[in-house]
Chain A
Amino acid sequence: MTYWIGAAAALAAAVWMALSGINEYFFYAAFVVLQFMVLATAWNILGGYAGYVNFGTAAFFAIGAYTAVVLFKWLGAPLAVQIAVGALVSGLLGFGVGLLTLRLRGIFFAIATVAIIFIMETMMVNWRYVGGATGLQLLRPDVMAPFASYTRMLFAVMALLAIVAVSVARYVQTSWIGRGLRAIRDSEEAAECSGVPTLKLKLFACTVSGALMGAAGAPMPMYLSFIEPASSFNLNYSVSALAMPMIGGTVHWIGPVIGALLLGSIQQIVTVTISNEINVLVIGVLLVLFVVFAPDGVIGLFKKFVRRR
């Protein structure tokens, strides 16, 4: 109950901000932070709960974006439809990829998911309808009332998506599904022998995770008014989606939220004040520091602190 009050308050705050007179740039940056929150939360469902490290986030994200582009160019579909179908297509991709790769364990699964990025990117590069390698310029439709600009509206939409993603992750974590996924992470063989249908649960996690990543990617073309393969399939999405839960903590739904707020904000600040290249360095350094000194992330640090008091 407290969770839902908090979620409603967060959404109300986001909408209120979008309607207020805050500087436009804030929304431009906050959209990206929220987008990473969705990606990190989605990644954590498979990577954190079940322990299957997915490096293919960029592929699911970009397929969501490209689905939106196709729908927009072909039918002029509204944003809500773009997001819904983007999530559906990426969810299906997650299911398919899961069927092919979830029998692999550990590093082999991780490698297989990297391959998905290259396969999908090659396909988009060679598809003229969506602009091929040079990309495609998109003309934004008129903004819907009551929002003053399209970026403000996208910010509110992404805030809603973040809350949906976190709610899904929270449900998965606290339900019997979450317990099964944790059993898989701890010992897959013992989980099977305790009656856990490991392949089915992993497929479920991979599908849900993929769908949420697709939903995060779908508003991207409208945000940039442009789509292009190299930036859509950027490995940075994969790395950030993995680093944020690691830094926040993977065992609880709040972990990716903390990680995304922390790392996402730092990235935005660094991009503006220093440079875009330092950005990647920041992720790397923070990730190493956390893996070495706080393997359970911010959540782990917090727990340790509470126990000591």
Chain B
Amino acid sequence: MYGSHDIPVRFRDDRLTLSIEVEGDVKHYSRECLGEKVEKTIHSKDNRILINPVEPVNTPKDITSYLLIDFEKPVIIEPETSIKIYLKFPVEIGIFISGKKKIEIIDVLTLVNQKFTLYGTPRHGIICKYWSSNVYVSMPTTDPMYEGVIQLEIINTSTHWTEVTKAVFNAYAMKIYYNDDIVSMQAKMKIMAGENAETDFVNLPLKSSMRKSVELYTTRIAPVLGTKFVMENGL
């Protein structure tokens, strides 16, 4: 389903129904998933749409730009060492339409159940999109319409053993790559002294011949407030 498609276009499976029909210069967009139906009328002369995974912080409502992944099992790391682990993250799918060499998002959908959480205190914390994942030491298999894979390199620069139970990421930094089999990101977590850590993303695909997703936050011309995130409220 991911990639660029000519309009008219139709997709249907047991979880999702999506179609764009043409009527002159007008396109009728319709999709239904998880009991939610969206219909839009689009005026555009171009006949191409792009479907790709986007930063998983847009649905059901764009109230945060942070994703918190809760580890089902904590990871304990020796001082001044590093480890590469794999985590799953929820996939959100962006539908873009092009026109006059510009693309515009027309819809974002997801097939996963949504949940938010608080990282830190109500006074000084942040609201994050929540996802719980097992910790894998080799790349897990996933349904690319449902979940993606983050390769997370945890670097313990402190002089103490450190237990990591969660990771918080800033969506403005996310670099998502995809192919027909997998949706992926690469990230780093640098543990510093005082139980703090800094997370950031690496702009590289996990496998060769993966395509880079259109970054939704960039296309929205959102203010980039810095891409790294410093976890100061516990690891």
A and B are partners in one complex rather than unrelated chains: no
Q: Which residues of B contact A (CB under 8 A)?
A: none
Q: Which residues of A contact B (CB under 8 A)?
A: none
